[in-house]
Copies of this chain bind each other. A is one copy, B any other.
């Protein structure tokens, strides 16, 4: 058995937990944040620096890699790990979210989705079977079931239809997934309707997956409704790894950890970095602000990262204003450090039985501005 997931510690006052996910490419301590590496690269981050940041696992994207560089290139390299020279674990999402998010460019049937490439408009077809096949070619450690993602808001009837299709697709994915060098995660759908989420969860449990994800969140629903949905579903999830897809802010991560969530991915730290928005222990700052023009201090006094130890806010502002590429490199490094370090602190405080205390102190300092 190349894959195991063991809960190593549980919090006494919340459902927070630490775990260890082992894969053929090494093990991952949870709760974990997975930097997003859409096109076989975490934007603006050389692999050398991801390793230096102790990124344990990254997420990459079936849809994007299928279109570019293409299956033949990946096949030639024997998978994504060797193609991008990343030896640690990789999770790939199935492409469902991407092929479905361009309403105008796709047509859904029971069989799968016909869609047009966002690059050149060419026609393509993904089915559950194809999505698994491509992910097997990619050789990711964790692959995701191909699902039908619903937008928000959506009617109960539409959400039910969509969720049930996703469940039939999940079963088809499960049936064709045979490679024991990879594990498959199912994705709970059902929008914000508790009864649909419950039905979806039960169906996935019957099919049987190594881990489960919550999909269709952070798509425009009110924050409290998102929390409520995650809390309610996660309570009933089996003890395998639990992954909330595409969420979220630092406070979202800390909140979801308390519901027993183990895995996260989100473009926020990397995308914000490129927009000059930086995370600090006291909240976000915008490095382009004129107030930092002559500021000799680091982004965050309390941050031990390479960027904070060496470069001033004034210099980082100058690089941003001057449109210099290293601005994105430095900002991304710092923001990923913040997210990865946040999860490391969660794990550490859990080990020390001081998670609630740590959480209180973190929330006291961190001023949310969104």
> How many of these chains are in the complex?
2
A328 at the binding interface (Cβ < 8 Å): yes
Residue of B nearest to A76 (CB): B294
Binary per-residue interface labels of chain A (80-101) against chain B in the complex, 1 for a CB within 8 Å, 0 otherwise:
0001110000000000000000
With A84-B315, A315-B83, A318-B73 known to touch, is A324 a contact of B294 (CB < 8 Å)?
Answer: no
B residues within 8 A CB of A48? 306
From known contacts A45-B326, A46-B326, A326-B46, infer whether A77 and B314 are also in contact, taking CB-CB under 8 Å: yes
Tell whether A59 is near chain B: CB-to-CB under 8 Å.
Answer: no
Contact string, A43-58, partner B, CB cutoff 8 A, digits 1/0?
Answer: 1111110000000000
- The residue of chain B having its C-beta at the shortest distance from the C-beta of A72 within the complex is B294
Interface centre among A43, A46, A324 (most CB of B within 10 A): A46
Please determine whether A329 and B46 come into contact, CB atoms closer than 8 angstroms.
yes
Asked whether, in the complex, the Cβ of B296 is within 8 Å of the Cβ of A68, the reply is no
The answer, yes or no, to whether A345 is at the interface (CB within 8 Å) is: no
Instruction: Tell me if A325 is interfacial: C-beta within 8 Å of chain B.
Output: yes
Neighbouring B residues of A83 by C-beta, 8 Å: 312, 314-315, 318
The answer to the question of A152 belonging to the interface, with a C-beta cut-off of 8 Å to chain B, is no
| Also in contact, A326 and B69, with CB within 8 A (given A83-B315, A314-B77, A314-B83) | no
Once the chains are docked, how many angstroms separate the CA of A9 from the CA of B272? 52
Q: How far is the CA of A68 from the CA of B68 in the complex (A)?
A: 38
Query: In the complex, which residues of chain B have a beta carbon less than 8 angstroms from the beta carbon of A293?
Result: 69, 73
Q: How far is the CA of A77 from the CA of B328 in the complex (A)?
A: 23
- A303 in the interface (beta carbon within 8 A): no
From residue 123 to 148 of chain A, which have CB atoms closer than 8 A to chain B?
none
A279 at the interface (CB under 8 A from B): no
Residues of B within 8 A of A306 (CB): 48
Closest residue on chain B to residue A274 by CB atoms: B325
Contact A326 B77 (CB under 8 A): no
Would A68 and B322 be within 8 Å (CB), given that A83-B314, A314-B73 are in contact? yes
A243 within 8 A of B: no
Question: Are A325 and B318 in touch, CB under 8 angstroms?
Answer: no
Known: A293-B69, A315-B83, A318-B73. A46 touches B330 (CB 8 A): yes
CB distance B44 to A326 under 8 Å? Answer: yes
**Structural contact, A319 and B77, CB atoms closer than 8 A:** no
With A84-B315, A85-B315 as given contacts, are A324 and B43 in contact (CB-CB < 8 Å)? yes
Q: Which residues of B contact A315 (CB under 8 A)?
A: 40, 83-85
13 contacts between A and B (CB under 8 A): A41-B319, A41-B324, A41-B326, A43-B324, A46-B326, A46-B330, A48-B306, A68-B321, A69-B317, A73-B294, A76-B296, A76-B314, A84-B315
Chain A contact residues, CB within 8 Å of chain B? 39-41, 43-48, 68-69, 72-73, 76-77, 83-85, 293-294, 296, 306, 310-312, 314-315, 317-319, 321-322, 324-326, 328-330
